[in-house]
Structures are given as C-alpha cells and as structure tokens.
Structure 1
C-alpha cells in the first residue's frame, strides 16, 4: 500500500475526485447550455474533466490496496465493501461523462464551422451538438450523484471508526 508521509494514498486521491468531478460537471453543463462559452472555456473544461476522470481509477486502485491492507490486519466491514462497490460504479459513469464532454467540444467546434460556412440546409453538427449537450447534462448529474454516494459512504465508514 502506497503512503505519503504515513497517510494512505487513497484518501488523498479521493479528494481529487470529489473536487474535480463535480467542478467538471458544473463546467460541462455550463458549456453545454451556453454554446458561445464553448470556444472560450473548452480547454479549461476539458482539462478539469480529464483530470477528474483520471483520478477515479487512481483512487479506485489505491482504495483496493487500502482495503487489502485492512483485511490483512483483520478488518472486514460491510461499510467498506459497500463503499468499494459504489466506487466501482463511479468509474464507468465518469468515463462516459469524459467521452461525452470530448464529443460535445468536438461537435460544438464542427457546429461553429457549419454555422460560419452559412450552409442553411446543413444543420447536422448543430443537431449533434444539441443531442450531445443533453447527454452531457445527464451524465454530469449521474457523475455528481455517484461521486457523492461513494464519497459519503467512504467518509461514513471512516468517521464511524470502521476504517481505522
């Protein structure tokens, strides 16, 4: 199990997840709902989203290492198992959210080019952009909800004393 100055890596990485994913979700919803912001904020939104999504598997692996260390020390608790299961569910949702944000930024850029070309009969990318915007909003909500569920169960396990 990796530690930093004696602190297991998992709780440190979890803080990246619980800060970056909701921030990415709020940012992505903003650029999904206000298309003119996509040009200005695309790179920061993409950066926060990728950092938040990348933190999930890192926190998951560190959590599995921590759970293994606890089990070797005789600690087995259903609250820790439940937290692990909620964390496992977060990974595919976060990955889907990340892919949807990338798709939104690409579709938005192509829709802008389509609009600038003044092709009134061609609205393909504008329609795709709207559809992906709806998907981003739904996945942002799902990602945030699952982040809160997993984080709350983990903090509840620690603060009730089962993780010490």
Structure 2
C-alpha cells in the first residue's frame, strides 16, 4: 500500500497504536448505531448523516492503521515475534470486513429512505407495493450481521495486538 511514506510516528509516538484507537472506537460505535437505525426506522431520518460520517471515518481509519502497522512491523522485524506476525496477519483481514460493513450501511440508508417514501405513499394509496419496505428489512438484517462480524474481527485483532505487546510483561 502506498497511502503514506511514513506513518511510523506521530509527535514522536508510535502511530499504529494511536491510529488503531480510531478503528476500535469508530467501527464498533458505527455497528451499534447502524443496528439501532436498522431496528428503529424512524431514527434514520435524524441520524443517517452522523451514522454515515462515523462509518466512513471508521472504515477509512482501517487502511491507515494497516499501513502504520506494516511500517512498524518492518521496523520491529528483528524481533521475530510470532505474536506480532499473527497480529499482522489478522490485521490484514479487517479491510474487507470494514468495507462490506460500510457498503451495508450505505445500502441501509438508501433502502431506508426509499422505504420511508414508499410508506408515505402507501398512506395515501393502499395499492402501493411494499417492495422497498421489504428490501429495507433484508438490508437491516445484513447490516446487523456485517456490523457484528466487523466488531468481532476488530476485537480479535485488537486482542492479538495487545497480547503481542503485553505477553510476558510483569512476569518474572
């Protein structure tokens, strides 16, 4: 990846753990918010844009954390720590989960908006089909599943990174 030439440090601190905090906060937060909007459709109109913003920031922070992690891993290559290698392998798997979740959130917001319009039209005309309302329900299930999968993967990766850093610390 060629996103940045040097993401190893920010203000003299390792960039990877700092950037990872954006991932571990924003992705689960957007997963919970997306699930809420999927379950309570009337919140979509009010909270769609904030959800989209948080989701885009969370998904966008993944490649930055990965690049910084790859650069940090290259600097630490002499350690040959299998726990760091496992963390790096798991970390490389997060982007597809995050992108899939991001696409599902966009689909939820679009299908939800169209379902809301269909619902309003059905108030005047009972012959209006329930096409978008049904699609919105299917997409709601998908967004909840994608959010859960992304959150689980984020936790797995974070746990492996924490284990790699803290394994053996404090023991004699």
Offset of 1:121 from its aligned partner?
A: 3.6
Structure 1 Cα separation of the partners of residues 119 and 35 of structure 2 = 22
2:140 is the alignment partner of 1:133: yes
Offset of 1:124 from its aligned partner?
A: 1.1
Structure 2 Cα separation of the partners of residues 126 and 161 of structure 1 = 54
Structure 2 Cα separation of the partners of residues 105 and 141 of structure 1 = 18
Structure 2 Cα separation of the partners of residues 95 and 21 of structure 1 = 11
Structure 2 Cα separation of the partners of residues 41 and 121 of structure 1 = 27
2:61 is matched with 55
Q: Name stretches of at least 5 consecutive residues in structure 2 with no aligned partner.
A: 1-5
Structure 1 Cα separation of the partners of residues 64 and 131 of structure 2 = 38
Structure 2 Cα separation of the partners of residues 90 and 6 of structure 1 = 27
Q: Please say if residues 118 and 128 of structure 2, whose CA atoms lie closer than 8 Å, have aligned partners that are also in contact.
A: no
Structure 2 length as normaliser, TM-score? 0.89
Structure 1 length as normaliser, TM-score? 0.93
Offset of 1:152 from its aligned partner?
A: 0.6
Offset of 1:161 from its aligned partner?
A: 5.8
